[in-house]
Amino acid sequence: MAATDLHYLGLVDVGQKIQAKALSPVEVTKAMLGRIEKLDGKLKSFAYVMAESALAEAAAAEQEIAAGKIRGPLHGVPVAVKDLCWAKGAPAAHGMTIHHDFRPAEDATVVARLKDAGAVILGKLQQTEGAYADHHPKIDPPKNPWNADLWPGASSSGSGAATAAGLCFGSLGTDTGGSIRFPSAANGVTGLKPTWGRVSRYGAFELAATLDHIGPMARSAVDCGAILGAIAGQDPKDTTSVPLPVPNYLANLSGDLRGVTIGIDRRWTSEGTDSDAAAVLAEGLRVAAELGAEIKEINFPDPRAVIDDWFPLCGIEAAVAHEDTYPARKDEYGPGLAGLLDLGRQQSGMDYQKIVLRREAFRGAVRVLFESVDLLAVPAQAFAAPSLAKMATLGEDASLIGGLLRFTCPFDMTGSPTVTLPGGFAANGGPVGFQFVGRHFDEAGLVRAGDAFQRATDWHKRHPGI
């Protein structure tokens, strides 16, 4: 197979070829490193390329596979991780200038587990400053490979751009307010935000501890399931990780949705939602119904209070995470992250407790809702494929901020798992996605639903022309 045919293969597909010895993990890794060298000067998706260690990992995988030892679907497959995830000896700047010299002495648990699964780590992917909204003024932000004038997503923008552009077969992103889902939708890839506690956060810089989720971004729901299967599970180094067994997310994929009830709140999902985002959600529901799902009208709990609460809560938790350097080194922070930290430091104990109580009440109401449905269908965001020019006005337009977070941050506040699926294109040519949301720890149901949708459609097989 020619190198030009490789880069847009699915992760599981290329893994099967590698594990069947039809492809060499060393040659595949060399091809991917060559593509990074060719394209990433413009895309800016990598913060640091780990070429030497990647080739060593590929050579080790090749030897093991030749000896008949197969570690699983990721064995020999080149992937990349968001920069906030520590990789031993490699820079981990967290999108900040303060940490530009930091090289951790150990791997994050998710990185260690990818290595244990035999994956080849190509490098660290660029992110916003501190994993919040904006890139540090001194760092070049990643470009959307479909159109450099379109928004590439928020904090996991490097993960979205690199995965969409065929610079890796899958990646890790993080989601605190929507940053697996925004770049997945913006770049036309699939993203799986696991239940909070399903994946260890040890060795990953925090934005907001009780809101942060680490999860996979890849070509398809199946590919995301393969990555999640490697990184999920209890970790003694992170006592918030939940001691539940990790299922085989690639098992029992039937290609249909018979017996699955999908809830839709048509008022909530349509008010203020633009025509492109609404059309993609409607088409997703139509396909789901054809695949056998029961579509059920529901009333979603009013999320407005928790959306408003997300900002001060994120600010409080981020202020704790940054207390060693902020405000002592405030002049080294960009304005976006500094503003969040100032907001957090202004909150009182009374303010915080009210937020906690509203969050718990909302979380309980959503839990009750999932007693009558298996999944929810919601847009990825209220407006599809925004331009960089539009997103530059984010701080001046409250409706823009609300539309961005409306369908994402409520599920960080609840810790619910979601899968974001490519579902079409906007009038400006940018990809558009939608979400299925599941009950806690039912990522297998999300992989099943995403896989069924993607067997019936080809949106996830479309790639930017680069």
CA distance 128 to 155: 5
Q: How many residues does the chain have?
A: 466
Annotated catalytic residue 179: yes
Angle at 140 between CA 134 and CA 145, to 5 degrees: 90
What tokens were used for 44?
A: 């800016």
Catalytic residue among 24, 156, 159, 179: 179
Torsion of CA 292, 440, 373, 445, to 10 degrees: 10
CA distance 167 to 123: 10
The answer, yes or no, to whether the previous bond of 386 is cis (omega within 30 of 0) is no
Nearest to 447 by CA among 246, 283, 211, 270: 246
Catalytic residue among 155, 220, 241, 416: 155
DSSP-derived secondary structure letter, 3: G
Angle at 46 between CA 315 and CA 311, to 5 degrees: 10
Beta-strand (E) ranges in 187-338? Answer: 190-193, 213-218, 261-264, 294-297
- Edge-first strand listing for the sheet containing 120-125: 46-49, 120-125, 78-82, 170-175, 213-218, 190-193, 418-425, 431-438, 375-379, 261-264, 294-297
SS3 for 138? coil
Annotated catalytic residue 390: no
What tokens were used for 83?
A: 């920069």
Annotated catalytic residue 254: no
Ranges of H-type helices in 202-270: 221-231, 266-270
Nearest to 177 by CA among 215, 208, 151, 206: 208
User: Rounded to whole angstroms, what are the CA distances from 366 to 31, 36, 70, 361?
Assistant: 46, 42, 41, 9
Which residues, 6+ apart, have CB-to-CB distance to 126 below 8 Å? 44, 45, 46, 47, 83, 95, 135, 139, 140, 141, 142, 157, 158
Residue 155's identity, in one-letter code, is S
Which residues, 6+ apart, have CB-to-CB distance to 181 below 8 Å? 175, 191, 193, 380, 381, 408, 418, 420, 433, 435
Catalytic residue among 44, 82, 143, 193: 82
**Burial state string for 66-76 with b = 16 or more CB within 10 A and e = fewer than 16:** eeeebbbbbbb
CA atoms within 13 A on the CB side of 14: 34
As annotated, the active-site residues are 82, 155, 179
